[in-house]
């Protein structure tokens, strides 16, 4: 099938490369000429596993790049819209990019096409897209608007796309549903997984994925409700972690006990310094606004956001209570990205914490495997960027772990111990076993678990992030 994908951000680029891998002919459209030139010349603009392989496999063959949206729409039977929907000041989704894309597509609709929303959009957006296209004089028989929300995570985007838990197709008629079923057939009938160059199956995938057909509005809501629920799970466990800290319980043990209930499940119950990224913070607020507009005050979501904000503040207090004064202290920081496996620092709790520590007068020596260039642009000269964990730790008063990169979970502890001025580790991602850390000579603080000390000093109970 001939597909146009509009927008070459995380979702558009990954979707375009994956559709090409499924055997479709894809035109990836963007209005940023520089980005297009970079893609054409073989650059890979984001850090995403398997993306370089897929781009070099299909670039110039089944995957081409264009700045001409109207022409790309004319040449395609399906147009996926994957442009940004950034938050407005009031927390609503800004749909002006979606609207201008709908307008431009209209000029290319000279035969039947399906316009598919892939961006995260509020319920009713498909109706607006339809209205805009009609206003631009397109015959209603020549198009349908559908919703096909994307559930991929940054860092594992390619495997999430090709090995999804489910594919949601929201349509208000059989004709567009049939087109979307055809596009995903290589996944739902399993032929992709048997093909020679298929991207390898991740651990958890159960094959083949289910395709769920819903109304367009339901599909739009499924996306917002899914992200809001995942954010809620994280805030819930972070709140539980705070209770654990007050009573001296271990949140990891609690998660194990709670998560083995198959009705709850263990995933997305990792306590930490709060969720970040370009999706959860924006989508929780946008869903809240959508609900309000529809007449429902979704106060539960206010609390999800409040707990998330507070989690960063609690971590700041934890650092203070571990180190006493912060002015003039040198702190090694591991991780700047909003999570492991990505170079994205948007709404990163790590960046927020580094900025707060700089304000307190600390000196920061930072290391991140992928996000340093982006972080440098935001944090500037106040931070010393280093080339490894051990270089960051050199002569530091303490080490902070802020991002859950895999490599931070398997450090050479003996080597780390020799680098630090004081063997203090404050772990915002619970990557280590406190007993192991203490046995290796570290004073170790983490989230929702008692602190551990090398000499076995009784652990102080922490209340509101401060020692009681
Ligand atoms: C999220 C969703 O997981 C995807 O399903 C969705 O498609 C995407 O948003 C989107 O709407 O585009 P993403 O933002 O890439 O994906 O990252 P996640 O892996 O969900 O992590 C989000 C944040 O939550 C990170 O800061 C992460 O560190 C934090 N997190 C995640 C926790 O603190 N604990 C957890 O147990 C899981």
Residue ID of nearest Cα to ligand 1 atom 24 = 275
What does the alpha-carbon distance between residue 354 and residue 164 come to, in Å, rounded to a whole number? 35
Residues 58-86 as b/e (b if ≥16 CB within 10 A, e otherwise) read bbeebbbbeeebebbbbbbbbbbbbbbbe
What does the alpha-carbon distance between residue 22 and residue 161 come to, in Å, rounded to a whole number? 11
Q: Which of 18, 171, 244, 279 is catalytic?
A: 279
SS3 406: helix
- The whole-number pLDDT of residue 456 equals 57
The answer to whether 200 and 155 have CB atoms below 8 angstroms apart is: no
First to last CA, the chain: 65
Listed in sequence order, the residues at least 6 apart from 133 whose beta carbon sits closer than 8 Å to its beta carbon are: 102, 105, 106, 109, 115, 143, 145
Q: What element of type H or E holds 81? A: strand 78-81
- The whole-number pLDDT of residue 458 equals 45
For 277, counting Cβ atoms within 10 Å of its Cβ (0-12 exposed, 13-18 middle, 19+ buried), the class is buried
Pocket of ligand 1 (CB under 6 A): 120, 150-154, 227, 230, 234, 268-270, 272, 275-277, 279-280, 283, 338-339, 404
- The whole-number pLDDT of residue 468 equals 38
SS3 96: helix
Backbone angles phi, psi at 78, to 5 degrees: -135, 135
State the number of CA atoms in the 13 A half-sphere of 303 facing the CB: 11
Residues forming a β-bridge with 4? 27, 79
The answer to whether 133 and 104 have CB atoms below 8 angstroms apart is: no
DSSP letter string, 259-273: HTSTTT-STT---SS
Residue ID of nearest Cα to ligand 1 atom 25 = 275
- The whole-number pLDDT of residue 461 equals 45
Residue with tokens 């570290």: 442
What does the alpha-carbon distance between residue 287 and residue 285 come to, in Å, rounded to a whole number? 5
Residues 210-245 as b/e (b if ≥16 CB within 10 A, e otherwise) read ebeebebbebbbbbbeebbebbbbbbbbbbbbbebb
Residues in the chain, total: 468
- The whole-number pLDDT of residue 457 equals 55
What does the alpha-carbon distance between residue 202 and residue 45 come to, in Å, rounded to a whole number? 23
Catalytic site includes residue 18: no
Q: Per-10-residue mean pLDDT for the chain, 468 residues long?
A: 96 98 98 95 93 97 97 98 90 89 97 96 92 97 98 95 97 97 98 96 88 97 97 98 97 98 96 97 94 95 98 98 96 98 96 97 97 94 95 98 97 97 98 96 97 71 48
Listed in sequence order, the residues at least 6 apart from 236 whose beta carbon sits closer than 8 Å to its beta carbon are: 269, 307
Distance 136 CA to ligand 1 centre (A): 38
Q: Which pTM was predicted?
A: 0.94
- The whole-number pLDDT of residue 93 equals 84
Q: Indicate the angle between helix axes 125-135 and 216-247, nearest 10 degrees.
A: 150
The answer to whether 168 and 148 have CB atoms below 8 angstroms apart is: yes
- The whole-number pLDDT of residue 464 equals 53
What does the alpha-carbon distance between residue 201 and residue 205 come to, in Å, rounded to a whole number? 7
Distance 280 CA to ligand 1 centre (A): 7
């Amino acid at each position: 099938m001939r597909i146009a994908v509009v927008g070459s951000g995380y979702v558009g680029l990954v979707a375009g490369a994956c559709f090409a891998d499924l055997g479709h002919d894809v035109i990836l459209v963007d209005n940023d000429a520089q980005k297009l030139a970079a893609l054409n010349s073989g650059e890979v603009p984001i850090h995403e596993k398997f993306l370089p392989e897929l781009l070099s496999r299909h670039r110039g063959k089944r995957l081409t790049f264009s700045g001409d949206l109207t022409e790309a729409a004319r040449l395609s039977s399906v147009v996926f819209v994957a442009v940004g929907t950034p938050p407005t000041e009031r927390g609503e989704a800004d749909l002006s990019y979606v609207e201008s894309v709908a307008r431009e597509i209209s000029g290319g609709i000279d035969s039947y096409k399906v316009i598919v929303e892939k961006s995260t959009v509020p319920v009713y957006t498909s109706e607006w897209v339809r209205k805009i296209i009609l206003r631009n004089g397109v015959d209603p028989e020549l198009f349908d608007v559908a919703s096909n929300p994307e559930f991929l995570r940054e860092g594992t985007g390619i495997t999430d796309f090709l090995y999804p838990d489910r594919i949601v197709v929201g349509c208000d008629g059989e004709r567009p549903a049939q087109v979307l079923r055809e596009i995903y057939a290589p996944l739902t009938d399993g032929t992709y997984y048997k093909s020679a160059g298929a991207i390898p199956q991740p651990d958890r995938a159960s094959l083949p994925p289910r395709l769920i057909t819903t109304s367009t509005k339901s599909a739009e809501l499924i996306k917002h409700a899914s992200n809001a629920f995942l954010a809620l799970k994280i805030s819930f466990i972070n709140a539980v972690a705070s209770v654990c800290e007050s009573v001296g319980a271990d949140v990891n043990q609690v998660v194990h006990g709670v998560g083995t209930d198959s009705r709850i499940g263990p995933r997305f119950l990792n306590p930490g310094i709060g969720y970040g990224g370009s999706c959860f913070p924006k989508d929780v607020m946008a869903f809240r606004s959508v609900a309000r507009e529809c007449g429902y005050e979704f106060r539960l979501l206010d609390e999800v956001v409040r707990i998330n904000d507070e989690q960063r503040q609690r971590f700041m207090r934890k650092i203070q209570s571990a180190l006493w004064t912060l002015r003039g202290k040198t702190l090694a920081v591991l991780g700047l990205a909003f999570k492991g496996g990505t170079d994205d620092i948007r709404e990163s709790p790590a960046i927020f914490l580094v900025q707060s520590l700089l304000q307190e007068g600390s000196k920061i020596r930072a290391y991140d495997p992928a996000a340093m260039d982006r972080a440098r642009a935001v944090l500037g000269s106040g931070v010393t960027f280093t080339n490894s964990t051990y270089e960051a730790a050199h002569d530091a008063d303490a080490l902070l772990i802020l991002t859950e990169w895999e490599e931070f979970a398997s450090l050479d502890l003996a080597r780390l111990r020799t680098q630090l001025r004081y063997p203090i580790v404050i772990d915002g991602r619970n990557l280590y076993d406190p007993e192991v850390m203490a046995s290796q000579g570290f004073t170790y603080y983490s989230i929702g678990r008692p602190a551990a000390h090398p000499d076995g000093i009784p652990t102080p109970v922490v209340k509101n992030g401060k020692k009681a």
